[in-house]
Copies of this chain bind each other. A is one copy, B any other.
Amino acid sequence: MARKRDFPLAQVYGLLEPGPVVLVTTVRAGRSNVMPMSWHMMMEFVPPLVGCVISNQNHTFEMLRATGECVINVPTVELAKKVVACGNVSGRSVDKFKTFNLTPVAGAVVKAPLIAECYANLECKVVDRKLVAKYNFFILEVVKAWIDPGQKRPRTIHHQGEGVFLVACRTIKLPSPKTSFLRT
């Protein structure tokens, strides 16, 4: 994590808005877990709010509900095999950090660990549970963000189902006078 730097909260939307698979980390009673997730979205710029659906069948659901804290870690294509592997075993029976050789690092605000190998890490707290019972839908606030400034063109992966991922391998820049689509 020595190479990671503080990342402005107002720019967090640019990390999650393109829809990368992320790894959600949680910790409870000394045991941590890692879960891949694609069902997430931005809901507000500042403070950054992130909505996400986590099945109540998942070990992470109970961890998040009990602790109210997690880290959203953004992996790149180099970690793709580990991302899939993390999705195919349960944290109830396996320590995924050890099994998949991921490095936990202490965060600044929440107790859940950051994954050192991911190029960005967003420390989050649950701020709204109104739709948890009906849709397993949590609203998180990003309270601290970290990024690896050495990764200029992180190739994020975008899940299409059944083990198929789009890889973001180039960017285009189009003239846009606004920071987002407004009043349209």
Contacts and interface: CB of A to CB of B under 8 A. Distances in A.
B171 A164 contact: yes
A32 interface: no
B13 A184 contact: no
A90 B183 contact: yes
A131 B163 CA distance: 32
A41 B59 contact: no
A30 interface: no
Given A19-B20, A173-B163, A87 B14 contact: no
A158 interface: yes
Contact of A90 (B37, B165, B166, B184): B184
- Dominant secondary structure of chain A at its interface with chain B: mixed
Contacts of A174: 80-81, 84, 163, 165
B19 A84 contact: no
Contact of A176 (B135, B162, B168, B177): B162
13 contacts: A17-B39, A34-B184, A44-B135, A58-B181, A58-B183, A84-B175, A84-B176, A87-B176, A87-B182, A88-B176, A135-B139, A158-B168, A168-B169
